[in-house]
Chains A and B, each alone.
Chain A
């Protein structure tokens, strides 16, 4: 008898949504936004290579910018292989709440799939929100994927409001400090590697994840096998 053909429906790798959420307010003008543009651009080849090494996760990237208002730079999720970075410009105020609103709309099911891997949200900001962000952050964190998302913040310069960023991440250790261009580049590169950590399909006991991993203060990304970046070695020199 001829070999039987594999039965079954349509197979698919699991989608993994990665979001860059970038503060483009006026205070980011100059070296800060320039470093962000250059650093994120430079992470793309490494993210493509990491995605090629894991064909069982479909890495999709989107960029959300906020200043006076917020808007998607990429109107829909883009496969990492097709992702190109459009340089952002800085001007206006810091409407972080508007960004959370747009993000929440994309983290609902649908358009998100319930079989996706946990989304990765990377927020970069150098200032304080100028709108009422609390309500929209609460709404975001109430969403099933809002709760499960891996949330990382990069605090740019001395004026960034780390309290707000910690409210976003839910964990102080995931508010990464970037006080100069070298540190910002390093933190952006580290954040980009979170996608490959999340794409590994190892399971985590639910309560353990809720507690943050092996201890109450341990970020869940650490229990996924990640290691937080060393924040001390590149903070010397010029400080924003």
Chain B
């Protein structure tokens, strides 16, 4: 097969010690031979965000659903879709993602019959509900003609070829444990996006790799993280996707144990 998409999400070593669930989530949607949509999300996990795993699940579902809707709406009009994503990616698209995530969060909260905090005026405080589900979101839509990358919060979207490793999208890094979040008011303003034309038939082999920040934070520095991306690519070329996929879970657990201890999620699309 020319393309294989696989990934794993593991509970971080420190989460295991403290009995906290894994708050990462991943999703992939493969639409025939041509198109794949990838998303990973990292629920914040702080005490203020007790339902952030749900928030992360909602985030990946929302990205995939909205991208599918765009692809359906602009079927056979790829150039128009590319123009739209390029022009409106970090505005209308980001706004749509934020709005849908918040709509689903309120629905999930109601479905679970969870208490809604009240604001100082005694009104239902939706913002406080969103905070309980806080999550980041990384997304990548790949067609034969173009890619669209979306990032709100920390994490990495990398592209690896025989020529080297590069970020698909350069997000601003916030020091420490802080991150941008879908849960904040006007979260879309912190989203960054990237569109690029691609010729899916050329530049192969090629690897796209989405990872939550637990992955990069487990390495000594950015160079070591890039070396890791290159190593995965080399292993895929040498041993094939199944061998890597079969081992990935164990590797990520080990990475968390010997690294930063956070949950780690990696989702890869490999074009052989």
Contacts and interface: CB of A to CB of B under 8 A. Distances in A.
Interface in B248-269: 250-251, 254-262
Nearest to A14: B260
Contacts of A203: 42, 44-46, 134, 136, 154, 177-179, 213
Given A4-B247, A205-B134, A148 B44 contact: no
A80 interface: no
Contacts of B251: 6-8
Given A6-B254, A10-B224, A57-B261, A205 B47 contact: no
Interface in A51-69: 53-57
Contacts of B134: 203, 205
A9 interface: yes
Interface in A108-130: 113-118
A200 interface: yes
B225 interface: yes
B206 interface: no
Contact-residue bracket for chain B: 35 or more
B188 to A, nearest CB: 13
Interface string B146-178: 000000001000000000000000000111111
B235 A9 contact: no
A132 interface: no
Interface stretch (B10-18, B91-99, B137-145, B192-200): B10-18
A113 B261 CA distance: 18
A4 B131 contact: no
B17 A204 contact: no
Interface string B199-238: 0000000000000011011111101111110011011000
Contacts of A56: 12-14, 256-257, 259-262
A6 to B, nearest CB: 4
Nearest to A54: B14
Contact of B232 (A3, A7, A204): A7
B245 to A, nearest CB: 11
Most interface-central of B14, B177, B262 (chain A CB within 10 A): B177
A7 B231 contact: yes
The 6 A-B pairs of least Cβ separation, nearest first, read: A56-B261, A9-B224, A7-B231, A8-B228, A205-B181, A9-B227
Interface of B: 12-14, 17-18, 42, 44-49, 131, 134, 136, 154, 173-181, 183-185, 190, 213-214, 216-221, 223-228, 231-232, 234-235, 239, 243-244, 247, 250-251, 254-262
Given A56-B260, A113-B221, 14 more contacts: A6-B250, A10-B219, A13-B259, A56-B13, A56-B14, A115-B217, A117-B176, A201-B45, A202-B45, A202-B47, A205-B180, A205-B181, A205-B184, A206-B179
